[in-house]
Structure 1
């Protein structure tokens, strides 16, 4: 996915697909409900836009291999286990899916505002290490596509 396509995907396609996501949508894999997935996505965008921080868990010597995957066109596999996620979904933060969707859309807008104001910034992804705006865009595109596919919404 090119940078332009990635930006368009996150700014236009993702919000439209989120609008189609329903609370009762059956999942193809994993334990997250649609609302859990949206809240999880929102939290990861907060990592990129500087609102929350998390320590890097991947050893520095393994980062090149992880980043090679990140910059590839390979998607996250079904049932990918994150080293920073608990085995069970955490309690929901928001009262309903509509609120969670609005929040993640706002976080994506804040992501672009953050990097417009701080173009050389790098924020830490716990698995992929410090990332630039472009690398975070790649991550978010893969991550959103993964969770949208989880509920039958194909990009």
Structure 2
């Protein structure tokens, strides 16, 4: 099991995790893996992560009128070193996981790797681009990176693929 510090304010940790650590941890995920909480199968979880990467690059769009004061309050979560609570329920998602998109977990993992690569490509080419997050409203690349770090970390913990490391290491290193 991989240990990763939960420090959303450290850009290097976020990027290393999203670019490399996440996929390394997913290598040990099998189709028979049972979550520690929630209803996702292993493949549902991987496809769910891909879904969020697609929002982050504008490949999927959802516009929700999040009132600015609410969005601002929610965005503070992106800057604090608290993980997503274990049983967090996204109000946009059904209790029943959606149908799978890919024929296998291996295909889903490959698609996720392409989604991660696309995320970094999009923001390297267009650093000021913003895309709507279903809960936080419009986010720029750094904010999406924070949201994705928290989201992916949460789901890898869900399947016992990560052990939480220290928090607040070199706080506010940005």
TM-score of the pair, normalised by structure 2? 0.86
Q: Distance in 2 between matches of 1:84 and 1:99?
A: 25
2:43 corresponds to:
35
Alignment of structure 1 residues 1-155 onto 2, 5 Å: 1=7, 2-56=10-64, 58-155=66-163
Equivalent residue pairs, number: 155
1:58 and 1:29 mapped to 2: Cα distance? 28
Name the residue aligned to 2:172. Answer: none
- Determine the C-alpha separation between the residues in 1 that align with 2:65 and 2:100: 24
CA distance in 1, matches of 2:110, 2:40: 18
CA–CA distance in structure 1, aligned partners of residues 116 and 99 of structure 2: 22
Mark the runs of 5 or more structure 2 residues left unpaired by the alignment: 1-6, 164-174
Q: CA RMSD in A?
A: 1.1
Shift of 1:56: 2.4
Q: Which has the higher strand share?
A: 2
Instruction: Give, in angstroms, the shift of residue 148 of structure 1.
Output: 0.5
Q: What is the alpha-carbon distance in structure 1 between the residues aligned to residue 161 and residue 93 of structure 2?
A: 23
Q: Any conservation in 2 of the 1:34–1:97 contact (CA below 8 Å)? A: yes
Higher relative contact order (CA 8 A, sep 6+): 2
Counting helix residues as a fraction of each chain, which structure ranks higher? Answer: 1
1:48-77 CA deviation, whole Å, 9 max, x = no partner?
Answer: 012110112533221122111111110001
